[in-house]
Structures are given as C-alpha cells and as structure tokens.
Structure 1
Amino acid sequence: MAVMGILYFPWALVSRRGARAACLHYCHWVRWTASWMVGLRTEVRGTPPTGEVIIAAKHQSFLDIIMIFSEVPAGKFIMKRELLWAPVLGQYALRIGCVPVQRGKRGAAIARMIADVESGLADPGQLIIYPQGTRVAPGVRKPYKVGAALLSEQTGQPCVPAATNVGLFWPRKGIWRRPGTAVVEFLPVIEAGIGRETFLIRLESEVEKVSNRLMREAGFEPDPQHPGA
C-alpha cells in the first residue's frame, strides 16, 4: 500500500482519477497475490451496481472493502473519522470522496455529503456503508443501525445490499489468512421510499440470510438463533 501510494501520489494530488487508479491497482494486486500466496481466491456474485446507489454491506474484514471497491466504478465509503490519520489510507480515502464521520454524528455527515453532491463539490457514485457500524466476526450478532435507511430516505437513492463470508478466511484481527474462496454477493435492490422500519427489516433479513448461506458453503455453521439462519 505504501509503495503504490507514493508512486501514484503526484497524479492523485491533482486528480481524483489518479487516486482512484491507485486504490484500484492496490485492490487488484491484493486479490491476485492472495490467490497464489495463500490460496485465497475471491469471487463476486450478483451484479455490481454502476449507477448512483447506496451499497449496504456486511463487513467482516478488510478484504470485503477491497472486493467491493474493485468491482464498482465510483465507490466511496462512509468511514470512521479516526481512519483519516492512517498513513496512505486516510489521504487516499479523502481524495476518492469518502465521507469521514464521528461516532454519534452520522446524521450531520450524511447531510453534509448530500449538500456537497447537490452543489457539485463531490462526485456522484456508489456510496458504501456498513449498517452494523463496524467489522463483525462470523457468527457474532450485532444489530443493524439506522444509517443506511436514513441515507436512502434523504437521498432518494436505491440500496444494493451485499452479503459476504470473507471473515472466515481473512479475520477481522491478526495476520493469519486461510485458503479457500471468499465471496461477496450483491443482492436485489431495495428501492427508496418504502419506509424506514420496512427498509431495515428487509436489509437485515436479506444480508444475514445470504451471508449465512455463504458461510455454510465454506463449512461454517451459523448459530441457529442468528438472524437469517
């Protein structure tokens, strides 16, 4: 990451295209090297969105970030403000249009993002949000927050849910990587305007159901009490 960040820095400094090219190059490099270094293959199912949509994704490790970003043309993330201080990662995140938020102040960040898009200060694209708010290890239960529903409601944009099993092979902590097939699956669109409560119920049900199916394919049996199990 550091090497690519330095090599692309002059281009990224003057153009978002340069920043995005650097991030895409890094993502493709990680997926390629993981396949032959540790036998960790990556597979994307469903149809990656190309228009202005919200992607509400299950988040298990850094690998699902890499896979989703490398499959969409203009991805940008709602991310923790603390990540701005991460070397290379934070600077490039800002250049590609990511939205840093403080915990407890997500609504203000969303309102600012909407205003920026409308005024032409920010490029449109696929806004990626993790509705559980953080990485969640396989088998762990964590409630879905209202952010994705609020964002869809305020922008009028449809939402594409995304399920995954990547945490079985690339854990949320540590450096150990396991061989196998890590999958991200894009699910059918949830249209805007269906009501916040209905949106959240449908989002959690569909993402958890498919994530559990993907984990079963990889030999992991979710807790029978887990949503979607």
Structure 2
Amino acid sequence: MIWLRSLVFNLLFFGITAVVGIIAIPTLLLPSGAALRVTRLWAQLVILALRISVGVRVEVRGWENLPPGGVVIAAKHQSAFDTIIWLSLLEKPAYVMKKELLAIPVYGWHARNAGMIPVDREGGGPALRGMLRAATAAVAAGAQVVIFPEGTRTPVGQRVAYQPGVVAIAAGTGAPVVPVATDSGRVWGRRHFLKRPGVIRIAILPPLPAGLNRARMLESLQSQIEETTDRLMAEPQFG
C-alpha cells in the first residue's frame, strides 16, 4: 500500500510540476513577484498532493520566533521536502541553491526569475562575493534567505559539519539568523521513492544572539539545530 501511495504521489508531483511550469512560462516576462506566486502555488499543490496521496501532515512550531522583514533561515536538510516547504510557507523566500539547478529548463528559469540565489561551489572567492551581493540585496528587499548549512541532504541519524557560507551571509547582510530543525527524513527519506504517512514537524527556533563571532555562530547554529532535531525524531511519528 505504501508503494502504491508513493507511486500516486510521484505521478502527481511530476504532473503538477509539468503543468504549472509550462502554464507559468509567460510569467517569466513579468516582475519577480509573479514568479514567486507561481512557485508558491506549485509548492502548495505538491504539499496538498503529499497529504492526499500518502497521508502526510505538516506541523510548524515557533512561528513567533521568525522576525519580520529580511532574515536568514538556516534549515536542517534531511529530505527534498525541505526544499519545497519554505516556498509554500514564506511570503518572500530566496533560496541559496547550487548554480547548476538554474540551468534546468523551465525550473531554472522560474527559480532565477523568482530571485533565488545561485552559488558556484567551485568558483572560489568571486563566487562567494557574488552570492553575498545577491543575499544582501534580497535581505534589503525584505526577503527570507533560506540556506541549508549542511550543504546537502543528510540521512536520518547522521551528522555532518556545517558549511561556513551561512555565517558569511549573516556577517555580510547583518540579518538575524534563525535556526530551523525538522524530522522530514522519517517520512520522505533521502533519495527514497517511498513516502510514509505521518507528521513532518518543523521547529523554528529563536534567532541567534547578535554579536557572535563566526566560529561561535556556526557552533551554536549546529548544536541548536541538531539537538532540536533529535528531540523531534524521538516523538511519535503520528500525532
């Protein structure tokens, strides 16, 4: 049954992506606000399909911890779900994403037009400066910059060293840094076809204190996210 429900979801996912992506091509000629509305619609439809086909509910805790205006959201990354959900939740998201993703036809066009922030991992100093300029402009425009400090999806139960890009963005923009934990990998595993019914919990934590040096910020960010993720993982999957 889980296999069949997962198949239904995947068919819906690719169908929604194709239809919305093609229909929305004319918005590429419009300002970025139109592209953001399209990506939000796409994400909301995917989350709805996940609930209907598989039986997944999403529970967000700590909304009161998210300051208004420009902010940096440093989010745990266990699943592809994490790259979708913030598009549906935030008013003005700007993801930090691999430059290669922007080369994907249709998807990349919309992502670029919606103001996503490309990063070239092999580009060295010039690439980092370009990312910081884009992030600074996004924060100044009131966007919520979403970055996954692990740098890649991390399987449930594993830990990796956090990448310093998040503290570079924090220092360059002066924006509050908000840690976010999740247990999404229990439902939607890393590179897994099967999607399991249950509750995906997202915990938005208080912003990190101002004035931390880079090493202390990265250490505090990782400890808060990982410890909260462990607590979420210990909760019953259904609730």
Q: If the length of structure 2 is used for normalisation, what is the TM-score?
A: 0.84
Equivalent residue for 1:67, pick from 85, 90, 93: 85
Task: Say which of 48, 58, 61 aligns to 1:45.
Answer: 61
Aligned to 1:151: 169
**Equivalence map 1:21-40=2 (5 Å):** 21-40=37-56
- 2:213 is the alignment partner of 1:195: yes
Match of 1:13 among 17, 26, 29: 29
- Contact 1:156/1:192, CA 8 A, preserved across alignment: no
Q: Which runs of 5+ in 1 are unaligned?
A: 220-229
| Structure having the larger proportion of residues in helix | 2
| Structure 1 contact 166–183 (Cα < 8 Å) conserved | yes
1:65 is paired with a residue of what secondary structure?
helix
Q: Retained in 2: the 8 A contact 1:8–1:18? A: no
C-alpha contact (below 8 Å) 1:117/1:123 kept by paired residues? no
The equivalences for 1:175-190 within 5 A come to 175-190=193-208
Q: Residue in 2 aligned with 1:83?
A: 101
Number of equivalenced pairs: 218
User: Offset of 1:124 from its aligned partner?
Assistant: 4.1
Residues in 1 aligned to 2:53 and 2:186: alpha-carbon distance in whole angstroms:
17
Cα distance change of structure 1 residues 89 and 119 upon mapping to structure 2, 3 Å threshold:
closer
Separation in structure 2 between the aligned mates of residue 72 and residue 129 of structure 1, nearest angstrom? 14
Shift of residue 104, structure 1, vs aligned partner: 3.9
- Structure-2 change in CA distance of 1:107 and 1:156 (3 Å): farther
Q: Which piece of structure 1 moves more, 3-12 or 54-63? A: 3-12
Q: What SS does the corresponding residue of 1:43 show, helix, strand or coil?
A: strand
Structure 1 runs (4+) greater than 4 angstroms displaced: 116-120
In structure 2, the residue matched to 1:227 is none
- SS of structure 1 residue aligned to 2:145: strand
* 1:118–1:140 Cα change, 3 Å: closer
State the match for 2:14 in structure 1. none
Q: Pick closer, same or farther for the CA change 1:114–1:147 going to 2, 3 Å.
A: closer
Return 11-20 or 171-180, whichever deviates more.
Answer: 11-20
Q: Which residue of 2 aligns with 1:222?
A: none
Distance 1:181 1:21 in 2: 26
Measure how far apart 1:82 and its partner are.
1.5
Q: Find the aligned partners of 1:49 and 1:64 in 2 and give their Cα distance.
A: 20
Instruction: Please state if 1:131 is matched with 2:145.
Output: no
Structure 2 partner of 1:167: 185
SS at match of 1:79: strand
Matches of 2:137 and 2:214, distance apart in 1: 26
User: Contact 2:79–2:184 (CA<8 Å) still a contact in 1?
Assistant: yes
Q: Which amino acid in structure 1 is aligned with residue 25 of structure 2?
A: F
C-alpha distance in 1 between matches for 2:230 and 2:137: 41
| Structure 1 position 57, deviation (Å) | 0.6
Task: Tell me the amino acid that sits aligned with residue 77 of structure 1.
Answer: Y
Instruction: Choose from 99, 102, 105 the match for 2:117.
Output: 99
Which amino acid in 2 is paired with 1:216?
A: A
2:25–2:106 CA contact under 8 A, matched in 1: no
Secondary structure of the corresponding residue to residue 217 of structure 1? coil
* Cα distance in 1 for residues equivalent to 2:25 and 2:94: 18
